[in-house]
Amino acid sequence: MQTLRKALDILTLLSQTPEGLTAEELAQATGIRRRSLYLYLSTLEEARYVARDPETGRWVAYYPHPGVSLPGEVFQDPALFKDLAAESFQRTLHRAYVVVVRPWGLQLAATAGKPGQPARLDPEGKGPVSAHAHASSAGQAILAHFPPRALWAHLARFPLRPFTRRTLTHLADLEARLRQVRAQGYARSRGELSPRRCGLALPLLASGGQIVGALALGLPLQRLCSLEAPGVPGACRACPELLPTLSRVREEVWPFSAT
């Protein structure tokens, strides 16, 4: 019973801390000795209740939720992700990003661009990708293809925080956007994460249609967008012009069918 209680204490702490905790922080909060703590974490990790972010070393509740299995949690091919980003940049000259689903959250797996182009999805440093998925084109491309319970688990963990005045912060608005993404086959954001940046993204799907990640481009924000103001002279046409090229990269480099 005491062992179960300690394991529940760890799970409770991690469920209340979306950004995760280090082993030292967990030891201090629970009073569990370090050696015993690692045994608990190892057991919980094997059972898919917790995961460790290799970039930060922090332990988090399994993403998006224990019991929800997504292909991205086992699909690992860094070379393929790098090829996708590099080829997208070479053909468009815009910073390219590949975001994938991992047991610890959404991860920026690869990026390619030239100096001066932001190497992060969030140029202002707004934190982990999972926390701002609703505000980026890559995040929206992924969330749109989550099974319903995975989407709800994500939103329960990461509320719809505003990052700019354009950020979608109402659930109905986000649901409408995600329906649009599924219908049109791509996602775009316009000043929703950074007030100076736009984004264009395509979902990366496994052979059965399950979401693995997203391939995205970062673009400078222009005053007018041709998709919002069709026919207006001088409106930015970057997204409709770049979309066919990005689609060809996915078709040629990504090895899985979308159906």
Shortest CA distance to 91 belongs to which of 250, 254, 221? 250
Per residue in 200-237, pLDDT tens? 999 999 988 899 999 999 999 888 787 777 777 877 88
Query: Which comes out higher in pLDDT, residue 234 or 140?
Result: 140
The answer to whether 51 and 62 are in contact (CB under 8 A) is yes
What per-residue confidence (pLDDT) applies to 1?
A: 57
Query: Which comes out higher in pLDDT, residue 93 or 1?
Result: 93
Three-state DSSP class for residue 62: coil
According to DSSP, the residues that pair with 97 across neighbouring strands are 111, 216
Per residue in 27-71, pLDDT tens? 998 888 888 999 999 999 999 999 999 888 999 999 998 878 777
| Domains annotated on the chain, with CATH | 2-61 (1.10.10.10), 71-253 (3.30.450.40)
Shortest CA distance to 95 belongs to which of 77, 76, 108? 108
Residue 81, phi then psi, degrees to nearest 5: -60, -40
Model confidence band, residue 135 (pLDDT cutoffs 50, 70, 90) = very high
Following DSSP, what letter does each residue of 101-148 receive, concatenated? Answer: EETTEEEEEEEE--TTS-SSSSTT----GGGGGGGSHHHHHHHTTS-H
pTM exceeds cut of 0.85: yes
What per-residue confidence (pLDDT) applies to 74?
A: 63
What per-residue confidence (pLDDT) applies to 259?
A: 42
User: Which range among 182-191, 219-228, 233-242 has the greatest average pLDDT?
Assistant: 182-191
Q: Which two tokens stand for residue 226?
A: 């041709």
What per-residue confidence (pLDDT) applies to 238?
A: 84
The answer to whether 146 and 154 are in contact (CB under 8 A) is yes
